[in-house]
Amino acid sequence: MSTDPSTSKNKSMRIVAIILTRDESIHIERCIRSLPEVISEILVVDCGSNDDTVTKASRLGAKVIFHKWTNYASQFNWALTQLNDDTDWVLRIDADEYLTLTLANEIKTYFCKLECNDVNGIFFSRRMTFQGQLIRYGGIFPVRVLRLFRFGCGECENRWMDEHIKVIGPTIEFNGELIDDNLNSLTWWVDKHNKYASREAVDLLNLEYGFMPHDSVANLRGGSQAGMKRWLKEVVYFRLPGGFRALVYFFYRYFVRCGFLDGTVGSTFHFLQGFWYRYLVDAKVAEVRRYIKKNGCGIQEAIVKVLNIKV
């Protein structure tokens, strides 16, 4: 899978965009149309859509394949194994995301000039909307994410939640932005984050019980925003009392980092994502611990019984 940078000097770059989907009909066309023309192939990996996601993606020229879902990391890493050997670079983008015109042009210009021979990964800035409003305060956006990397030099962290791309070798940063703009209802958002909370509870329990290999980008010295945030989460946040840490985090986001300036819609987002969601994660972790104590079983059995996740 590895690519020798020197072999890319005399040919155009083959860049493949990977999009994981399930029932993304309202997003998939916007996502695909935002991609610059230097993208050689769009690979959509679907896990059983019941809408016309596959039809729309195929009509727009994407190659669609199917694979059973376990979690995002395993699905994305499986997708990497399906790429042709002549692939040079991989773009990771979610169906409810799109590239701004600035970022699309930046990618196009960079690869048309073939300036990437000494680089293995590229960071973007990612912003998020909530119920149609861009979130500007709270100290969480924009976040720097590594989404474009040389094929064979990167893969997704093996985690159940909040997974990042790990890359071996030098990286650079682009100025353009990636927008996460999910168009589904608040009910859908709450249901999805309930599932997210179960998956994040698994990762927190693994820090305590060590039932899975610990795969993490946590690093204070690397200079990566994702690495520093993960270190703070695993070393500082994790050691605070459950429930209390959710309150502390919300207070920091909403008052210290002025999340209240995002207005009514933004306040809903900061409360739900910054407090309710994190409190729910802690409540699920506590529920698993109680189940273990009450039934005298192992951690993996308890996770299956309480969270309905097989690890």
Q: Using CA atoms, how far apart are residues 153 and 156, in angstroms rounded to an integer?
A: 11
Least confident of 141-155, 193-207, 221-235, 265-279: 221-235
Kindly report, residue by residue over 186-221, the tens digit of the pLDDT: 999 999 999 999 999 999 999 999 999 877 766 766
Asked which of 145, 180, 215 is the last residue of a domain, the reply is 180
Q: How much is the average pLDDT of 133-138?
A: 97
pLDDT tens string 281-299: 999 999 999 999 999 999 9
For residue range 34-74, list pLDDT tens digits in order: 999 999 999 999 999 999 999 999 999 999 999 999 999 99
Q: What percent of the chain has pLDDT over 70?
A: 94
Q: Specify the DSSP class assigned to residue 273.
A: I
Across 61-87, b (16+ Cβ under 10 Å) vs e yields: ebebeeeeeebbbbbbebbbeebeeeb
Q: Taking 90 as the threshold, does the pLDDT of residue 2 lie above it?
A: no
The region of weakest confidence among 17-21, 88-92, 206-210 is: 206-210
* pLDDT value at residue 234: 78
Share the mean pLDDT of the chain: 92
Same domain, 86 and 125: yes
Range 14-38 average pLDDT = 98
Same domain, 173 and 245: no
Question: What distances in angstroms separate CA 149 from CA 93, 168, 250, 302, one per listed residue?
Answer: 12, 10, 33, 37
Instruction: Please give the C-alpha separations between residue 303 and each of 32, 266, 278, 286, 298, in angstroms, as whole numbers.
Output: 37, 33, 18, 11, 9
Sorting pLDDT into bands at 50, 70 and 90, what band is 223? Answer: low
Under a CB-based contact definition with an 8 Å cutoff, are residues 96 and 27 in contact? yes
Looking at the fold, whether 88 and 208 belong to one and the same domain comes out as no
φ, ψ dihedrals at 130, nearest 5°: -140, 120
Check residue 4 and give its pLDDT.
41
Please report the pLDDT score of residue 114 as a whole number.
66
Question: What range does the domain containing 301 cover?
Answer: 186-307
- The owner of tokens 């916007």 is 30
Question: Are 155 and 237 in a shared domain?
Answer: no
Residues 37 and 154 in one domain: yes
Q: Which of 121, 155, 180 is the last residue of a domain?
A: 180
Q: For 227-243, write each residue's pLDDT tens digit.
A: 777 777 778 888 899 99
* CATH number, domain containing residue 63: 3.90.550.10
